[in-house]
Amino acid sequence: MKVTFIRPNMTPVRSSDAMEPLVFAILAGLTPPGVEVELFDERLEPIPYHHPTDLAAITVETYNARNAYQIAARFRARGVPVVMGGYHVTFLPEEALQFADAVLIGDAEGLWEEVVRDAQAGRLRRIYRQDRQPSLEGMQADRGIFRGKRYAPMGLVQYGRGCRFACDFCSIHAFYGTSLRQRPVREVAAEIEAIERKYVFLVDDNLFVNIPKAEELFRALVPLKIRWTCQISIDIARNARLMDLMQKSGCLTAVVGFESLDERNLGQMKKRWNLKDGDYATAVRQFHDRGIMIYASFIFGYDHDTVDSFKPALDFALQSKFCVANFNPLTPTPGAALYERLRAEGRLIWDRWWLAPEYRYGDATFHPRGMTADDLTAGCFRARQQFNRFGSIVRRALPPGPSARSPYHLALFAASNVISRREIRRKQGLRLGDETPLLPLPEIRLAPAPEAPLAPVLS
């Protein structure tokens, strides 16, 4: 029995900085002994459909769903059964089942073994549904499947799943609900030691679960002498002691979701807590004083945004000397509260933008209230370009600022900016998947565009 793991690309363009898909190390670790596994990561390499295999197992996120369905059709045309799992499949199993023989809904722990056994016996069920929140204790990721592949030189490690917040645009709350699960810290530390990488990405969506857990984790990282990056909520900046430990344990960069400078937008997205402990500039200082560079995320398109909202955010990002900043159009993904709200309000341009052949990466997918959809697309792209101009990169690198703190900081800053500058140009405007039509075609309804922009609600 052989299982072929597939990581679909989002667009037809290959990547030179793809990160290891941790999900497949975890699935490989869960696969029963005696079953052969192999991985093809379409971001790096073409998929050899002619290789004999008994089961294709595809991970599906919303942005690569169209391509995943096209890949599935090619396997199924050769008689290879296809099982799909991941975020998108968990939110829309009926859609995925139009293209797959089986779907796994939710976490795979405790279920994947059954899928493999059923496939081996030729009796795959259509749906494998996770009905509990499996413990993460004893997780054994098998990274052997990454051997020989040209991934970015960093180790991806997961400490926990879930987030204590519920921002309305985010898939995390929809996927995990209120469940927050962490692995035993000693297991995380042992895994980091075993992978022998000097640079580690702790992939949790919000590494700051609570003060005791953050403290326990950071203390365990200190003796490992690694450098690491994470995604973390801004409220950690309130706790100087934790921030000191974060620095001491080797944290060099952190992804922080600022999202908006407008408190009314923050309220609408259920993220008013972002400003609960003070202004953004004070929080930024807490990171920067400790040499932790920030990868800032901004979203545009909430009801109080207009064409004038981009510049203040861009100026703030430049003045703050962020290492990287993302200026993204608000994008409704299935499962998230935002998606249902916009659909109920009749504001979606496509019911399922991720399947629409006309959709291009970077496009607005709904009608904002304070500007047109085209303004939203263009405003985000322009802000990204301006932030990534050569002169802006140099100014952000100059002291005073965290990137000038050490040669290592500067090298990381330079590498991140080279990648970011290249990626925004390469990705913008690309189609999802290729030109092959999706068969069977789910119903894609083009919502009628309003004749005039929807009435602004700006006060």
Contact between 64 and ligand B12 by CB under 6 A: the answer reads yes
- Select the span of 79-87, 263-271, 301-309, 396-404 touching ligand B12 (CB under 6 A): 79-87
Distance set, CA 40 to CA 45, 59, 76, 297 (Å): 7, 11, 17, 30
- Select the span of 117-125, 132-140, 169-177, 401-409 touching ligand SF4 (CB under 6 A): 169-177
Among 206, 253, 388, 392, binds ligand SF4 (CB under 6 A): 206
Q: In the beta sheet, which residues pair with residue 256?
A: 296
Among 4, 26, 119, 173, binds ligand B12 (CB under 6 A): 26
Task: Say whether 257 sits in a helix, a strand or coil.
Answer: strand
Cβ neighbourhood burial of 48 (10 Å; 0-12, 13-18, 19+): exposed
The nearest distance, CB 64 to ligand SF4, in angstroms, is 20
Q: By C-beta, is 166 or 185 nearer to ligand SF4?
A: 166
Distance set, CA 140 to CA 15, 193, 195, 298 (Å): 27, 14, 12, 35
* Contact letters for ligand B12, residues 184-213 (x by CB under 6 A): -------------------x-x--------
Q: What is the DSSP secondary structure assignment for residue 167, as one 8-state letter?
A: -
Q: Which of residues 228-287 bind ligand SF4 (CB under 6 A)?
A: 233, 257
Residue 233's nearest CA partner among 267, 285, 271, 268 is 271
The nearest distance, CB 82 to ligand B12, in angstroms, is 9
Q: Which of residues 103-122 bind ligand B12 (CB under 6 A)?
A: 104, 107-109, 112
Contact between 155 and ligand B12 by CB under 6 A: the answer reads no
Are 331 and 169 in contact by the 8 Å Cβ rule? The answer is: yes
Among 96, 145, 157, 170, binds ligand SF4 (CB under 6 A): 170
Q: By C-beta, is 71 or 230 nearer to ligand SF4?
A: 230
Are 328 and 300 in contact by the 8 Å Cβ rule? The answer is: yes
Question: E-strand spans in 140-282?
Answer: 155-157, 160-161, 181-182, 199-202, 227-231, 251-259
Q: By C-beta, is 8 or 160 nearer to ligand SF4?
A: 160
Sign of the C-alpha dihedral computed for residues 222, 227, 229 and 232 taken in this order:
positive
The nearest distance, CB 456 to ligand B12, in angstroms, is 26
In angstroms, the CA 253 to CA 230 distance is 7
Residues near ligand SF4 (CB under 6 A), total: 11
Residue 171's nearest CA partner among 46, 45, 63, 290 is 63
Q: Which of residues 409-428 bind ligand SF4 (CB under 6 A)?
A: none
Contact between 205 and ligand SF4 by CB under 6 A: the answer reads yes
Which residues contribute to the site for ligand B12 (CB under 6 A)?
10, 18-23, 26, 57-59, 61-64, 83-88, 104, 107-109, 112, 156, 158, 170-172, 203, 205, 328, 333
